[in-house]
Structure 1
């Protein structure tokens, strides 16, 4: 068992102040929120080494994961990253200025565009991904491998229960 933390204190304060409240979910989600913030801040620092924000890294990573020729339509990128078209345009503008992506007309759709990862973009995202994974591995090293797998399973189940069903 690990030491008590700030989240335990918050839950206990609620129990004391509102005995009928049942604040147990705060013990889970308070830690998820704090972990997301801490890991996100660490990732942001890592990606800055390549001149990238987390959001820009996400665009490059989506293109890289698409496989050769590392090309997607802006709409597909926006949908996959849960962004508005305006949010995607801003990211693509910055990435194109940095010569990490290239936008070109879609040969299959005269009204459409394609976004392609450049060689420099592929190198940057691969290096940044490796560095970001090193941070995540370091943070997970505090848990034995079976606990890491169990945590991943539990979070998958929680996410599935929380996501809206089509």
Structure 2
């Protein structure tokens, strides 16, 4: 079965036989898959009245476990945004009733951000919808193929994840 990347690679091999275009065979497919995944994510988040960044913050809190709270600094680390951006995001989520700010009992000057019951509901529902979409995207692969692909992608992404930005 041929795909658009096969046609693109064949055209480059014809037009630029002096270049090794083999990286396109993998990375162009990864790029195209990322666009399909991005569309699926946006659709799911819209169905749950969330923006992508809202999902990121809510699910970081949800993954923290009971009582579903983190410091703004911990949220910064998990979502890779600046402190000013995080402050703005917390403000907007609090205004929607999805999170609340609480005093940090271990630091009189600090605050904690806690997921509200509504925020937990939104995070859980959006995650379930997202996983349904992602399963559909991976539907053409067997379980062993998915595991193999996950291992190969981990090998490619680990050096980036372990390098300071």
**TM-score of the aligned structures, taking structure 2 as reference length:** 0.91
Secondary structure at 2:111's aligned position in 1? strand
| Distance (whole Å) between structure 1 residues aligned to residue 117 and residue 39 of structure 2 | 27
Match of 2:11 among 3, 10, 13: 13
Tell me whether 1:36 sits opposite 2:34 in the alignment.
Answer: yes
State the shift of 1:143 in Å. Answer: 0.9
- State the Cα deviation string for residues 121-163 of structure 1 (Å, max 9, x = none): 1111111111110111111111111111111111111112444
In structure 1, runs of 5+ residues without a counterpart are none
Aligned pair count reads 164
**Residue of structure 1 equivalent to 2:102:** 104
Task: Identify if the C-alpha distance between structure 1 residues 128 and 160 changes in structure 2 by more than 3 Å, giving closer, same or farther.
Answer: same
Tell me whether 1:93 sits opposite 2:91 in the alignment.
Answer: yes
**TM-score of the aligned structures, taking structure 1 as reference length:** 0.90
- State the Cα deviation string for residues 13-48 of structure 1 (Å, max 9, x = none): 222222222121122111111111211111111111
Q: Which runs of 4+ in 1 moved over 4 A?
A: none
Equivalence map 1:1-166=2 (5 Å): 3-165=1-163
Could you say what the CA RMSD is over the residues aligned between the two structures, in angstroms?
1.6
